Amino acid sequence: MESWVAAFILAALGLGMAQVVAAARFRARILRLAARLHDTPATRDIEDRLPPIVADFARRAGAEPGAGLRVATFAQDGELRLRQGGRFAPTVAWQVVALGRAGFLWDARQSLGPVETLRVIDAFVAAEGVLEARLFGSVPVARLSGRELTLGEAFRYLAELPWAPDAILGNPDLVWRVTGSDRVEVRLATQAGTARVTFTFDANGDVTGMEAKDRPARDGSGRMTRLDWRGRFGDYRQIGPRRLPEYGEVGYDWPGLGYEPYFRGRIRDYHVAP
């Protein structure tokens, strides 16, 4: 009996140590991805290429053309559901957004009390998409890559530009086109195809809506498909050095079911850095 107990304890200790090591390696991978974003080119002055409504939006946010910034970072408090029709779960996240070239890293966590139950990274780094999830920060449950994911992440970078006004004024890879009195399309060419997102502006010149056609996504069975995608922004206020929409929400238009959001949250602790 004593030998069995000792063997059980040793096995438990070994498993615990393995999880600690795996979690540490995952954290190191996240930090390496973030470091690559910090090494991207700085913003340039491209204001003369922008439609006036877009340039005005970025300037009112506090962005300045040619400021030589590389990244914006911020925290999020929100809710995320991992599948169509699923329950929302409280989620906190840290995000890094490249400003002079397309790229981002979203490091999100869900917890039960003091225990971290799930950690997810969603990223677009060096023109490639990455999606990885781990239980307890150590046990792999999903790791995706490939052309469809890369294109989907390019869509996400564009959709979140209201949270990165310095990229609007300073990322030369973005191409803007007015499509209506209050609507502007932005597009980004990638090795996996071209992502296009349309923003809607209100009477004050603030972005309130986002929509896109045919974004790569997974259906209820986990198969890749293309879905229309949309979201909204609101509650503009000063967050750190920028005037930004504190609230954001995004979801898919499911055939026959309509719009269903899968993430909604608020940002805080906003910073920009050269």
At 13 the pLDDT is: 46
HSE-CB of 106 using CA atoms within 13 angstroms: 22
Dig out the tokens for 249 from the structure. 């929400």
pLDDT for 4: 53
Taking the C-alpha atoms of residue 224 and residue 135, their distance in angstroms, rounded to an integer, is 23
pLDDT mean values, one per 10 residues, the chain (274 residues): 51 47 78 96 97 98 95 98 91 98 97 88 96 82 88 98 98 97 97 97 98 92 90 98 98 94 98 97
Residue 17, pLDDT score = 46
User: What does the alpha-carbon distance between residue 100 and residue 117 come to, in Å, rounded to a whole number?
Assistant: 34
Please provide the DSSP assignment of 144-207 as one string. Answer: E-SHHHHHHHHHHHHHTGGG-HHHHHH-TT-EEEEEETTEEEEEEEETTEEEEEEEEE-TTS-E
Burial class, 122, CB count within 10 angstroms (exposed 0-12 / middle 13-18 / buried 19+): buried
Predicted local confidence at residue 16, as pLDDT: 47
Q: Counting every residue, how long is the chain?
A: 274
Predicted local confidence at residue 136, as pLDDT: 80
Report the pLDDT value the prediction gives residue 156, as an integer from 0 to 100: 98
pLDDT at 95: 98
139/141 Cα distance (integer angstroms): 6
- Give pLDDT, residue 145: 84
